[in-house]
Amino acid sequence: MDIKKAEFLSCCADYRQCPAATLPEYAFIGRSNVGKSSLINCLCKQKNLAKTSSSPGKTQAIVHFKVNGDWYLADLPGYGFAMVGQKQRSQWQKMTRDYLLFRPNLFCIFVLVDLRIPPQKIDLEFLQFLGENELPLCIIGTKADKLGKMALENSISAIQSALAEMWDPLPPFIVSSSETGLGREEILDFIEQANRTAAQEKA
């Protein structure tokens, strides 16, 4: 897929305020500081499309972008650590949960996990929530460029082993790096195929 245009559409705190559900939508989510904004910018080849920050919790609402005029990219608040109070974290959780459960045009949820660290309980619990609610997902391992070949293989194996305890078959898994562009084409091909399948079903 060739990204010719990606533009900011909206930022809202309730799924009912999101853009009209007329196009296929793909959501990106992960623990705070997993590299979500950098990955979105890499995918769209726009350095400052999604706001990046060294401080966790930068994304605080549901942010929508329109890509190539024919699909939506949704940037969701990170879960886990953020420099905010418990009340605000609870509001984010409800906002995200309602969006995931009730957004009618949500084709896939890309869940980002950091390849540099062992599988985290909070990631596995979130993935379990998606599975229990039969929500479509694809896992993206981020920051692959920070690891050597053997360490990367061990990291992928550890994540897949943890997932195998609750998934059969395993969800799709893509290894990525925002720095090198690794995985970019694979992610976009995944989206393109999903769009194509949806168009065929609609015809």
pLDDT in tens, 35-93: 999 999 999 998 888 875 444 444 578 999 999 999 999 999 887 655 555 655 566 68
pLDDT above 90 coverage of the chain, percent = 73
What one-character DSSP code corresponds to residue 116? T
Ramachandran bin of 181, using left for φ above 0, alpha for ψ from -120 to 50, beta for the remaining angles: left
**Is residue 60 one of the residues assigned to a domain?**
yes
Instruction: Provide the domain limits for residue 188.
Output: 6-202
Helix (H) or strand (E) holding 113: strand 106-114
Evaluate whether residue 1 is within a structural domain: no
| For residues 151-167, average pLDDT | 94
Burial class (CB in 10 A: 0-12, 13-18, 19+), 155: buried
pLDDT category, 203, cuts 50, 70, 90?
A: low
Q: How far apart are CA 190 and CA 203, in angstroms?
A: 20
Query: How many domains would you assign to the chain?
Result: 1
Report residue 66: phi and psi, to 5°. Answer: -105, 125
Is residue 96 situated within a structural domain? yes
pLDDT at site 92: 65
Cβ count within 10 A of residue 161: 10
- Sign, CA torsion 94/98/100/103: negative
pTM of the model: 0.91
Structural domain includes residue 161: yes
pLDDT of residue 200: 78
Looking at residue 195, which CATH number applies to its domain?
3.40.50.300
pLDDT band at 105 (very low <50, low <70, confident <90, very high): very high
